Structure 1
């Protein structure tokens, strides 16, 4: 009986890992369907982001469809700030730290709002920052 009690926590961990994997797989499949409408897109555990023509759309990934979707036109964006932890980077050619706990792009809209799009990877975030900054410069 003691052996059974010792294996019970492992069994619980196994089922939790299986459920977590299935849950993440469902989120990715939902993202694939959603992202097919965009020219450029990204998936992250924190957010999904897509760009089509002059529109930028982002939201939170879920198993069904992305939730809390927000859309903005490039014409409505005054500038973009790249934030790693509490430090802001405004220069596209700057050397970004390779790690950070909170990585985000902050869109400063002409209305004064500042929505934030979270990332887990500095390289992906910096590529989006450079792309969006270049795109704003040509608008």
Structure 2
């Protein structure tokens, strides 16, 4: 009887892990369908992001389809900032902190809004920051 009771928490953890894995798999499958329309895209637990032409779309991944989607054009963006924790970096910086807790690319829109796109990986965020900065510079100088 005691052995059975000792295995009960382990069984509960197993079911929770199985459900979590299934949930994340559903989010990824939903993201794959959503991302087909974009030239460049990314997925992580915080946000999905896609770029097609001069449009940038991002939102929160869910099992059915991304929610809270926002879309801007490069003409709507005044400036792009790359934030790691509380510091801002630019494309000239060669190294970024490894133990970052909060990584984001912030878009400063011409309307004054400042949406932030969260990332879990510094290198992926830096790549997107450089790409978006280059595209913004190209759209400013046709």
- TM tier relative to shorter chain: over 0.9
TM-score by length of 2: 0.96
Report the equivalent of 1:84.
84
Question: 1:9 and 1:21 mapped to 2: Cα distance?
Answer: 18
Contact kept? 1:99, 1:122, Cα under 8 Å? no
TM-score by length of 1: 0.98
Q: 1:1-139 maps to which residues of 2 (within 5 A)? A: 1-89=1-89, 91-95=90-94, 96-139=96-139
What is the SS of the residue equivalent to 2:62? coil
Aligned-pair distance for 1:9? 0.2
Say how many residue pairs are matched: 138
Contact kept? 1:41, 1:49, Cα under 8 Å? yes
Q: Which runs of 4+ in 1 moved over 6 A?
A: none
For the aligned residues, what is the CA RMSD? 0.6
Question: 1:93 and 1:58 mapped to 2: Cα distance?
Answer: 26
Aligned-pair distance for 1:99? 2.9
Question: 1:67 and 1:47 mapped to 2: Cα distance?
Answer: 10
- Give 5+ residue unaligned stretches, structure 1: none
Question: 1:34 and 1:103 mapped to 2: Cα distance?
Answer: 23
Aligned-pair distance for 1:98? 2.6
Question: 1:25 and 1:104 mapped to 2: Cα distance?
Answer: 24
